């Protein structure tokens, strides 16, 4: 069986990297086929695993907009025939809508939606078309001459990423990371439900919110009391209760329980982040501070400015950089998202 993922195209690499990280840490047994940017198929999924994997992906992913179970792969020429041959009562029981998504093709979306909707109605009694909030969504994805016919069984909560933007939280401070990127970074750190996630520069808690919402235990610290307090306010607002927050310098961290991952966005090049350390030494001090607080198989996912070379500092402390992705912020700054882990012996 197969799942079709329609991904965000706001970054050329992060959506696929996030998907691969979730597949890895959740032990999802599937082959990945990249059709084009924004369109990925997970193939060779066991029938008894399809619903479990579907739930995991829709619960976790940030840069994937939709996940659908593929019914058939057709073509533009054979679409009408193939639609008529599907046993639609297996997939639709009440109201439905048909939506077409195009990739590198000129198929007429409105006409195709209308025609396919009519064909489905002819194949199934006691159902109706409902364009707003239908019970079932039939998603056709056209790529060149191919058409994937799929059904949406579980919706991703895309509304969350809009409703949880930094300025909409009870405690707000300028410069906070977007929820989508925060979720992606949590996923890149390869954590699973129940793992302990640390953000030692927690700010307003955006990263910890996303980790908490996928079922992680979260721990945040910040040198500023108002940030520590604000993080707690925001976590409570989103119903996250398995958390601890501390007001301390990152160099003072002494964890009783080693963490499964560190996900963070350190303040760039300013002395306030660690009290009395300036420039790139902040990152070296940070690496030394968290190393012994992490499990041996733990990952660190962090943001940093492009002009800071993390590799020599990471190597010195005993980390290795696994992946890096650049996000253009403006003409003079690119933010680098790095996935780092302890060096394997």
At residue 273, does pLDDT exceed 50? no
Residue 343's pLDDT band (cuts 50, 70, 90): confident
CB 264 within 8 A of CB 236: no
Q: What is the mean pLDDT of residues 193-221?
A: 97
In the prediction, which pLDDT does 278 show?
56
Find the range with the poorest average confidence among 74-83, 123-132, 143-152, 313-322. Answer: 123-132
At residue 279, does pLDDT exceed 80? no
At residue 171, does pLDDT exceed 70? yes
At residue 318, does pLDDT exceed 70? yes
In the prediction, which pLDDT does 276 show?
53
Q: What is the mean pLDDT of residues 140-153?
A: 98
At residue 274, does pLDDT exceed 60? no
- To the nearest whole percent, how much of the chain has pLDDT over 90? 87
Return the residue matching tokens 């300013």. 270
How far apart CA 289 and CA 106 sit, in angstroms, is: 55
pLDDT, one tens digit per residue, over 21-75 is: 999 999 999 999 999 999 999 999 999 999 999 999 999 999 999 999 999 999 9
Secondary structure of 57-80 as H, E, C letters: HHHHCCCEEEEEEEEEEEECCCHH
Contacts 24+ apart (CB under 8 A), 79-84: 79/112, 79/116, 79/140, 79/147, 79/149, 80/115, 80/119, 82/149, 83/116, 83/119, 83/120, 83/123, 83/149, 84/119, 84/122, 84/123
DSSP letter at 10 equals S
pLDDT, one tens digit per residue, over 102-115 is: 999 999 999 999 99
Higher pLDDT, 329 or 314: 314
At residue 16, does pLDDT exceed 60? yes
CB 129 within 8 A of CB 96: yes
State the CB neighbour count (10 A cutoff) for residue 147.
26
Is residue 111 exposed (0-12), middle (13-18) or buried (19+ Cβ within 10 Å)?
A: exposed
Average pLDDT, the chain: 94
Torsion, Cα 170 175 180 185, to 10 degrees, reads: -110
CB 204 within 8 A of CB 171: yes
In the prediction, which pLDDT does 345 show?
67
In the prediction, which pLDDT does 277 show?
55
């Amino acid at each position: 069986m197969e799942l079709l993922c329609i991904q965000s195209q706001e970054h050329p690499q992060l959506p696929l990297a996030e998907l691969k990280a979730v597949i890895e840490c959740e032990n999802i047994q599937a082959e990945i086929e990249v059709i084009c940017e924004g369109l990925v198929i997970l193939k060779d999924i066991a029938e008894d695993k399809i619903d479990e994997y579907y739930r995991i992906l829709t619960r976790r992913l940030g840069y994937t907009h939709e996940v659908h179970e593929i019914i058939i792969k057709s073509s533009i020429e054979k679409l009408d025939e193939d639609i008529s041959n599907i046993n639609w009562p297996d997939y639709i029981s009440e109201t439905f809508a048909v939506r077409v998504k195009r990739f590198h093709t000129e198929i007429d979306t409105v006409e195709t939606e209308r025609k396919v909707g009519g064909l489905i109605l002819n194949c199934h009694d006691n159902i109706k078309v409902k364009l707003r909030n239908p019970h079932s969504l039939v998603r056709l994805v056209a790529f060149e001459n191919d058409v994937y016919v799929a059904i949406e069984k579980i919706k991703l909560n895309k509304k969350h990423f809009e409703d949880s933007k930094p300025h909409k939280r009870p405690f707000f401070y300028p410069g906070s990371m977007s929820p989508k990127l925060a979720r992606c970074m949590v996923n890149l750190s390869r954590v699973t439900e129940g793992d302990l996630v640390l953000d030692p520069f927690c700010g307003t808690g955006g990263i910890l919110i996303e980790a908490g919402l996928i079922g992680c235990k979260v721990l945040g610290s910040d040198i500023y009391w108002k940030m520590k307090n604000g993080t707690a306010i925001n976590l409570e607002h989103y119903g996250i209760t398995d958390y601890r927050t501390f007001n301390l310098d990152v160099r003072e961290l002494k964890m009783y329980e080693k963490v499964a991952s560190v996900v963070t966005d350190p303040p760039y090049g300013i002395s306030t982040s660690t009290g009395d350390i300036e420039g790139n030494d902040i990152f070296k001090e940070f690496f030394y501070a968290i190393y012994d607080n992490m499990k041996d198989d733990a990952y660190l996912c962090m943001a940093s400015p492009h002009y800071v070379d993390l590799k020599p500092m990471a190597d010195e402390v005993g980390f290795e950089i696994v992946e890096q992705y650049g996000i253009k912020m403006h003409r003079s700054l690119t933010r680098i998202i790095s996935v780092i882990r302890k060096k394997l012996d």
